């Protein structure tokens, strides 16, 4: 058989079951548990994984330790496999066949003050394509995993395979316990927060210790995984936080006081989508978001 034909046959041997098998292994961190979840034998799971690795020419799973772990290539492939599987399942879902919704993700605060105008205008001008706003606690709000078609994100976005457009910027604010002496000031500076503990949302947030100058960074941090836990930790007096101005209006909390933080750089608000096979209405969404921000 000619080489070209042999290569083609290898590519055609990879099926959705290989992706489902790999994702089960990645999520379960165990061949045994993945096999039970898929109702397969462990040898069958091992053979399926080996076939996928052979096709990709890369080791996806590190089996050299007692605890199964993904390699760097495996972690990169996990997002691609999840997005491909989600796209396939959406494509063959009978309920989505006639009116495929446009799923718009966000990690917190959506489009800030422009959220309601965007949703209402979209419903009025594009009733044939429902716009679903989904909060997903992830740095790309589920976009790289294929859970949404586009996402409203804050800060720099460097995930591969995404197209981004900056729509606006938001000033940053400090979030402090309501009974803290800091809450009595009209505004704060970064050095006012550096003397205590800072609460960081390491899953979907944008604030890191690099926001502070080197040598003047907070010595202690508390890490959380979402905005709700971030607010709870600050209200409980475990630390202070930094976020965008829209957080203050869209996420009020009786135990948290927001104050302007004028020496912190503004936070970009971007619309992101995948460059491969975008939703057909993506262009209309980008254009409408631009117009709303500009006041057109």
Residue 121 sits in which domain range? 100-168+268-294
Whether residue 260 is found in the same domain as residue 225: yes
Residues above pLDDT 70, as percent of the chain: 93
- CA gap 105, 209 in Å, rounded: 26
The pLDDT mean for the chain works out to: 90
pLDDT tens digits, 205-240: 999 999 999 999 998 999 999 999 999 999 999 999
pLDDT tens digits, 136-161: 999 999 999 889 999 999 998 888 88
- Identify the pLDDT of residue 234: 98
**H/E element holding 242?**
strand 241-244
Q: State how many domains the chain has.
A: 3
Proportion of the chain in helix, strand, coil states, percent, rounded to 5: 40, 20, 35
pLDDT over 60 at 264, yes or no: yes
pLDDT over 80 at 5, yes or no: no
- Identify the pLDDT of residue 106: 96
The dihedral over CA atoms of 159, 160, 163, 166, expressed in degrees to the nearest 10, equals: 30
For the entire predicted model, the pTM comes to 0.69
Whether residue 193 is found in the same domain as residue 278: no
pLDDT over 70 at 8, yes or no: no
Whether residue 239 is found in the same domain as residue 121: no
Phi-psi region of 59 (alpha: psi -120 to 50; beta: other; left: phi over 0): beta
pLDDT over 60 at 273, yes or no: yes
């Amino acid at each position: 058989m000619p080489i070209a034909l042999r290569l083609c046959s290898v590519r055609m041997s990879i099926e959705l079951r290989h992706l489902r098998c790999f994702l089960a292994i990645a999520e379960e961190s165990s061949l045994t548990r993945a096999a039970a979840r898929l109702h397969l034998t462990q040898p069958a799971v091992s053979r399926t994984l080996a076939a996928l690795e052979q096709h990709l020419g890369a080791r996806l799973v590190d089996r050299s330790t007692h605890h199964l772990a993904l390699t760097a290539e495996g972690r990169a492939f996990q997002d691609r496999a999840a997005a491909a599987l989600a796209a396939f399942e959406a494509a063959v879902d009978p309920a989505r066949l006639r009116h495929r919704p446009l799923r718009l993700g966000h990690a917190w605060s959506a489009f800030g003050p422009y959220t309601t105008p965007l949703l209402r205008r979209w419903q009025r001008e594009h009733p044939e394509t429902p716009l679903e706003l989904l909060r997903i606690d992830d740095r790309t709000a589920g976009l790289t995993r294929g859970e949404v078609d586009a996402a409203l994100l804050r800060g720099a976005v460097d995930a591969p395979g995404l197209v981004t457009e900056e729509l606006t910027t938001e000033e940053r604010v400090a979030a402090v316990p309501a009974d803290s002496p800091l809450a009595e000031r009209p505004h704060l500076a970064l050095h006012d927060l550096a003397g205590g503990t800072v609460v960081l949302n390491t899953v979907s947030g944008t604030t890191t210790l690099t926001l502070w100058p080197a040598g003047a960074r907070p010595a202690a941090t508390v890490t959380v995984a979402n905005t709700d836990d971030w607010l709870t930790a600050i209200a409980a007096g475990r630390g202070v936080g930094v976020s965008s101005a829209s957080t203050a209006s869209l996420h009020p909390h009786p135990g948290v006081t927001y104050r302007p933080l004028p020496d912190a750089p503004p936070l970009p608000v971007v619309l992101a989508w995948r460059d491969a096979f975008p939703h057909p209405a993506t262009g209309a969404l980008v254009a409408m978001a631009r117009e709303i921000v500009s006041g057109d």
